[in-house]
């Protein structure tokens, strides 16, 4: 009886344990099924364009950046426009550091070793108006490659530029045109006649409003100028209050049979939130495209002669061909260009074209590198050829905008302002050369100026040799005094922002507007235009996760190891530095930047949305490297047995310079 009872108890225990095991098994199966359903690879509909992407939030949910007033997606941690950390824009340090200004004998020197891409040699940017440090509550802004992260106690030029983006506003006049009017900020209006009692706290900090007011006051003291065409067709600077501008979008729709004109008033669209502007702009861009069936261009280029071949092909195109669809082929490399080849072509071509060693563009001098026109390009490339290359550069930038491809280079702020026809003022000189700007500030404020021995000339260095340029006729014989220094600084400013590069800029702009109408670009302010052209500076991993699809090896059920690989993959990406995430994105998609819409805005060559996707390629231990299909924004991952191995191979590919395509 006792033995029988023991057996019964044992069976009961076994049945109970078995039931628990079965329950756990089914629970795990349900969990896996749910995870599979949330991660299943779904091919995007082939007829979805960027303008058809709907935001899953209301406009009221957008958060406004305290530095630049840009409205950001509620899930963004950093401002897309100026990279200010959300909620950390409250304080600005009040300490001011003045860099040592240097003067050459007789003139302010640009010290321009043009082949090396320098307008001047300088220490880190600082000035009485714009060098205040940001409080420690700021996160470290992150910039890809050339845009180095700023230290947490410095206000970046990106933030400074963005904070001034609404300084000028177009106002309608009775003649149907618009004139630029300098805006007094709401901050200053609200405190007009009042004294700000918060000069600074014991830690030497002052409010963001007082900091921006300080930079605004200096900028407001200078005259605004707009580049216009004179009676001879040359570009010159006119004072903004005497220039009437047309704020209409005028476009000739070209096709093989002829053209038709379209005219639209941009005033209402200009005031829309940025996401709505982007959708409207994308719609209009697609109206400019000529259908593939009506004719297209094939560009066959040699990889080792990329710039030369591309220049000859694009320069020979008729205007309507610039809006045709292009197919790029690297000679001797079999590949189907569904977007990836063209993206690589743009990336490599921009790198060569904007390389200061080529002689067309130079790097600006300061903490954050951007590109400006080389004033000595005619001496380096030849009187006629350099303008032909600037025309090519304008066509290339226009084509990148038209095709919604992101540029891997940043144009200097005065360059962006010239593209839009926005007023440019003396304070914008700091975005070209810190040393020249700081030296000019000293000239502006010093009491005893005669000992500096300045005259109305500027010095530039070409191929290691100094060259004196007169700012006005007979400038070498005119000394700078307290009485004429305002005239001198005005001439110096005009020379650097336009006079020295007017022919090159005219060739560039004329070609750019042949591809994308000037009126269409006027929809944006200069910081929005950079965001449109270059994308978001930092990569948001959460946004990347949200807009990534997975394709499992069996197509039916994800294995537990595949689910582990997904988790490990994102953990590895989160642990990466931003520049390594950029390289991973470049490897998988052919572009190093994320569009203004975020990862949901990734596209293929035909402009249709194509989400980032990861496909598991099985557990083949003989080949553990990830594989990219840039035409389809796809990354093939082997199924790794551990996170350590996955991290090893993913980190390895981001350190490798991988280019080229093969058919698989």
Q: Which residues are catalytic?
A: 631
CA dist list (Å): 377 to 30, 260, 431, 491, 505: 67, 38, 20, 21, 12
Comparing CA positions, the residue from 111, 125, 145 lying closest to residue 466 is 111
d(CA 605, CA 612): 14
* Residue 88 φ/ψ, nearest 5 degrees: -115, 20
d(CA 535, CA 544): 14
d(CA 574, CA 582): 12
d(CA 599, CA 57): 16
Q: What does the block give as tokens for 500?
A: 């020295």
- Quick check: 556 and 33 in contact, CB under 8 A? no
Strand 371-373 and strand 361-363: pairing?
antiparallel
- Quick check: 248 and 264 in contact, CB under 8 A? yes
Assign residue 245 a region: left if phi > 0, alpha if psi is -120 to 50, beta otherwise? beta
Residues linked to residue 461 through DSSP beta bridges, in sequence order: 466
The greatest distance separating any two alpha carbons of the chain, rounded to the nearest whole angstrom, comes to 125
Kindly provide the residue ranges of all beta strands, DSSP E only, lying in 305-407, ordered along the sequence: 325-330, 361-363, 371-373
d(CA 538, CA 143): 6
Residues linked to residue 265 through DSSP beta bridges, in sequence order: 248
Comparing CA positions, the residue from 229, 225, 120 lying closest to residue 490 is 225
């Amino acid at each position: 009886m006792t033995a029988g009872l023991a057996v019964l108890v044992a069976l009961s225990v076994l049945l109970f344990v078995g039931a628990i095991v079965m329950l756990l098994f089914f629970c795990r199966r349900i969990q896996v099924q749910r995870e599979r359903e949330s991660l299943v690879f779904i091919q995007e509909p082939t007829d979805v364009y960027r303008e058809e992407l709907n935001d899953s939030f209301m406009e009221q949910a957008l958060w406004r950046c305290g530095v630049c007033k840009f409205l950001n997606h509620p899930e963004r941690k950093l401002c897309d426009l100026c990279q200010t950390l959300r909620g950390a824009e409250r304080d600005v340090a009040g300490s001011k550091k003045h860099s040592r200004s240097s003067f050459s004998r007789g003139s302010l020197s640009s010290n321009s070793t043009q082949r090396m891409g320098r307008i001047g040699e300088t220490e880190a940017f600082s000035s009485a108006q714009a060098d205040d440090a940001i409080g420690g509550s700021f996160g470290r802004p992150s910039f890809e490659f050339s845009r180095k992260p700023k230290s947490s106690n410095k206000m970046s030029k990106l933030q400074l530029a963005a904070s001034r983006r609404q300084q000028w506003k177009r106002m309608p006049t009775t003649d149907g045109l618009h004139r630029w009017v300098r805006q007094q900020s709401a901050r200053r209006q609200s405190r007009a006649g009042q004294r700000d009692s918060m000069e600074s706290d014991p830690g030497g900090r002052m409010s963001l409003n007082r900091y921006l007011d300080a930079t605004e006051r200096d900028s407001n003291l200078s005259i605004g100028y707009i580049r216009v065409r004179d009676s001879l067709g040359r570009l010159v600077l006119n004072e903004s209050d005497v220039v009437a501008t047309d704020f209409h979008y005028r476009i000739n729709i070209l096709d093989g049979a002829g053209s038709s004109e379209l005219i639209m008033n941009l005033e209402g669209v200009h005031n829309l939130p940025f996401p709505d502007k982007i959708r409207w702009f994308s719609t209009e861009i697609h109206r400019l495209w000529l259908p593939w069936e009506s004719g297209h261009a094939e560009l066959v280029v040699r990889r080792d002669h990329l710039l030369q071949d591309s220049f000859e092909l694009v320069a020979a195109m008729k205007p309507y061909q610039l809006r045709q669809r292009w197919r790029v082929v690297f000679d001797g490399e079999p590949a189907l260009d569904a977007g990836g080849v063209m993206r690589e072509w743009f990336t490599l071509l921009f790198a060569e074209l904007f390389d200061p060693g080529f002689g067309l563009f130079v790097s600006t001098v300061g903490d954050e590198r951007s590109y400006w026109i080389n004033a000595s390009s005619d001496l380096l490339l030849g009187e006629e050829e350099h303008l032909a290359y600037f025309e090519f550069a304008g066509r290339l930038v226009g084509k990148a905008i038209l095709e919604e491809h992101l540029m891997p280079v940043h144009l200097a702020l005065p360059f962006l302002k010239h593209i839009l026809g926005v007023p440019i003022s003396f304070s914008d000189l700091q975005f070209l050369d810190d040393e020249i700007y700081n030296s000019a500030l000293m000239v502006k404020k010093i009491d005893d100026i005669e000992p500096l021995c300045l005259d109305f000339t500027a010095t530039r260095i070409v191929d290691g040799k100094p060259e004196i340029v007169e700012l006005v006729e007979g400038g070498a014989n005119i000394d700078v005094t307290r009485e004429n220094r305002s005239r001198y600084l005005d001439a110096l400013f005009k020379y650097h922002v336009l006079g020295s590069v007017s022919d090159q800029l005219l060739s560039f702009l004329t070609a750019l507007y042949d591809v994308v109408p000037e009126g269409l670009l006027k929809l944006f302010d200069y910081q929005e235009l950079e965001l449109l052209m270059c994308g978001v500076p930092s990569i948001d991993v959460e946004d990347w996760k949200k807009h990534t699809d997975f394709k499992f090896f069996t197509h039916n059920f994800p294995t537990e190891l595949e689910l582990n690989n997904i988790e490990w993959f994102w953990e590895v990406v989160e642990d990466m530095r931003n520049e390594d995430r950029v390289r991973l994105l470049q490897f998988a998609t052919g572009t190093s930047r994320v569009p203004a819409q975020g990862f949901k805005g990734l596209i293929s060559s035909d402009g249709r949305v194509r989400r980032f996707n990861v496909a598991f390629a099985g557990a083949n231990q003989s080949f553990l490297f990830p594989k990219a299909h840039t035409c389809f924004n796809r990354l093939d991952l082997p199924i790794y047995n551990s996170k350590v191995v996955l991290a090893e191979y993913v980190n390895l590919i981001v350190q490798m310079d991988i280019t080229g395509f093969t058919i698989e």
